[in-house]
Chains A and B, each alone.
Chain A
Amino acid sequence: DAGITQSPRHKVTETGTPVTLRCHQTENHRYMYWYRQDPGHGLRLIHYSYGVKDTDKGEVSDGYSVSRSKTEDFLLTLESATSSQTSVYFCAISVGGNTIYFGEGSWLTVV
């Protein structure tokens, strides 16, 4: 257990509405990540953070923004959700510089 909590775990939202997913860690790790998982694509990196207020884009960052105002929290925001953003979202942390541990996932459906 890497001490990662994601919320909400499941959400259904309408197209065009904003959505925020929260990732909370209990162990003050510096690196945190947001991935999305889709059939046929594996896991793709959306954004990552290397410290408070330090974030960078991943390979599929369009339509997403992130914020990290505290070490323990990393927020992923969909400013205006689209059906293509229906996915499973995983938060992850880097431990010891060589291993990535994942949260349990957030299932998002955009209708």
Chain B
Amino acid sequence: GEDVEQSLFLSVREGDSSVINCTYTDSSSTYLYWYKQEPGAGLQLLTYIFSNMDMKQDQRLTVLLNKKDKHLSLRIADTQTGDSAIYFCAEGGYQKVTFGTGTKLQVIP
């Protein structure tokens, strides 16, 4: 079955880069996603990458995909206090999406 794993917690200093990692098991996944959840809110889609891509960049966000190792990462450049949230990795596409347990990012001023 599908499984998505993430570390539970990451702490970085404001201005540094954050790298959140994720591994998944379903090699047939069409898309890989990153969502952000702030306290008391729903999940906000940050970005996604098609499975035949290696990298996608969107302003401060860089997504790297190593399909061979089934490893996905999200890099946030110049991390700000407003980036403090839980970040969810997800795999799938269309009919079904499987989520990881989330990584809580703490940004220290």
Q: Which residues of A contact B (CB under 8 A)?
A: 31, 35, 40-45, 48, 50, 90, 94, 97-105
Q: How far is the CB of B94 from chain A (nearest CB, A)?
A: 5
Interface of A, secondary structure class, is strand
Residues B85-99 near A (CB distance < 8 A): 88, 90, 93-99
Q: How far is the CB of B105 from chain A (nearest CB, A)?
A: 15
Interface of B, secondary structure class, is strand
Q: Which residue of B lies closest to A56 (CB)?
A: B95
Interface locus among B12-20, B42-50, B57-65, B74-82? B42-50
Q: Which residues of B contact A (CB under 8 A)?
A: 4, 30-31, 33, 35, 41-45, 48, 88, 90, 93-102
With beta carbons under 8 angstroms apart, the residue of A42, A44, A45, A104 that contacts B102 is: A42
Q: How far is the CB of A30 from chain B (nearest CB, A)?
A: 10
Is B102's CB under 8 angstroms from A98's CB?
Answer: no
In the complex, what residues of B have CB within 8 A of residue A41's CB? 101
8 contacts between A and B (CB under 8 A): A42-B88, A43-B43, A48-B96, A98-B31, A99-B48, A102-B35, A102-B43, A104-B41
